[in-house]
Structure 1
Amino acid sequence: MDVATAIETRRAVKTYDPDHRMTEAEIEKLMSLAMLAPSAFNIQNWRFVLVRDPGLRREIRKAAWDQAQVTDASLLIVLCADTKSWEKDTPRYWRNAAQPLQDFMVPAIGQYYAGREQVQRDEAMRSCGIAAMTLMLAAKEMGYDSCPMDGFDFEAVGKLINLPQDHVITMMTAIGKATKEAWPRGGQLPMNEVVINNHF
Structure 2
Amino acid sequence: METFDAIYQRRAVKHYDPEHRLTPEEETKLLEAAIQAPTSFNIQHWRFVIVRDPELRRKIRTEYSPDQAQMTDASLLIIMTADVKAWAKKPERYWCNAPKEVAELLVDWMGPFHEGREWLQRDEAQRSIGMAMQNMMLAAKAMGYDSCPMIGYEIEKVAELINLPDDHVMGPMLAVGKKIKDVWPKPGQLPLSELVIENKF
CA deviations 1:130-171 (Å, max 9, x no partner) are 011000000000000000000000001101111111101111
- Structure 2: 5+ residue stretches without partners: none
Q: Is 1:9 aligned with 2:16? A: no
Residue 129 of structure 1 deviates from its aligned partner by 0.5
Partner of 2:49: 49
Partner of 2:82: 81
Partner of 2:144: 143
Partner of 1:22: 22
2:6 maps to a residue whose letter is: A
SS at match of 1:77: strand
Q: What is the TM-score when the length of structure 2 is the normalising length?
A: 0.98
1:52 maps to a residue whose letter is: R
Which aligned pairs between 1:1-200 and structure 2 lie closer than 5 A?
1-62=1-62, 63-200=64-201
Residue 66 of structure 1 deviates from its aligned partner by 1.0
Distance 1:127 1:64 in 2: 24
Q: What is the TM-score when the length of structure 1 is the normalising length?
A: 0.98
SS at match of 2:29: helix
CA deviations 1:59-93 (Å, max 9, x no partner) are 11121211000000000000000000010001000
SS at match of 2:50: strand
How many residue pairs are counted as aligned between the two chains? 200
Identity %: 56
Q: CA RMSD in A?
A: 0.7
CA deviations 1:26-58 (Å, max 9, x no partner) are 001111111111100000001000111111111
